[in-house]
Structure 1
């Protein structure tokens, strides 16, 4: 038997803001809100334990130190990469430079708190 990624936990200065941003990006909904200020988001029809991982944004006041050692890659499901890039930028993503050459087939972006993520070229089927 193997494991499956069920949750990704992300430290956030403003969990509310990041949960709203990533909900818009992924088409997720709020699943749970904890007393400590953590917010869990995931697919509306599956919730925790479904085929896609839940994202949990936990409050922190600690500053981020350096480049993330893990980042999220996303792929559009219903439009081409250029149209999806426009949508993500309109939601509050911004271009990020992590040393790419400019010839990559993906776009490196940052969420509202500066967490890098990549928009890949390939369109994939929705789950």
Structure 2
């Protein structure tokens, strides 16, 4: 039996990082219902400390998600006050094609990614970068 899953990324700025990854992958940031959030706070089910403002809207402080525009694929960016300190044990590989790899690397670096190194194994090659919070990912 196949299972559906999402990738979850701990980060200090989940809404900003969700925006960055949504643009990188061509996905959509999931909207959050501002009226629902206000209602939950007004009824005492949540506190103001559990909310924040992002791009002028009230959102849950705990995180933000992005979704593939045509499928149920999803990434969740979850608030964690501690900064990343060691290498990821899991990372995302983005397949852009060898002919596009240099241009995509340059675009990502211009948007805040950091290029770490180029690597290869047999006929396969890739670039390893980090997102603006230091999470490693590869483009192939």
Note the alpha carbon deviations across 1:23-61, whole angstroms, 9 max, x for none. 111011111446343101112343xxx2xx211111111
State the number of aligned residues: 109
Structure 2: where are the runs of 5+ without partners?
33-58
Deviating beyond 6 angstroms after TM superposition, the runs of 4 or more aligned structure 1 residues are: none
Is the 1:32–1:41 contact (alpha carbons within 8 Å) kept by the matching residues of 2? no
Computing the radius of gyration from Cα coordinates, the structure with the larger value is 2
1:111 is aligned to 2:131? yes
Alignment of 1:1-127 (within 5 A): 1-4=1-4, 6-33=5-32, 35-46=60-71, 50=72, 53-76=73-96, 80-96=100-116, 102-104=118-120, 105-120=125-140
Unaligned segments of structure 1, at least 5 residues: 121-127
Deviation digits for residues 68-120 of structure 1 (CA, Å, limit 9, x no counterpart): 1111110127x6211211221122111125xxxx5521001000000000011
Distance 2:93 2:65 in 1: 19
1:2-25 per-position Cα deviation (integer Å, ceiling 9, x unaligned): 223x31111110112211110111
- The normalised TM-score by structure 2 is 0.68
Matches of 1:91 and 1:63, distance apart in 2: 20
Question: Greater share of strand residues, 1 or 2?
Answer: 2
RMSD: 2.0
TM-score (norm 1): 0.75
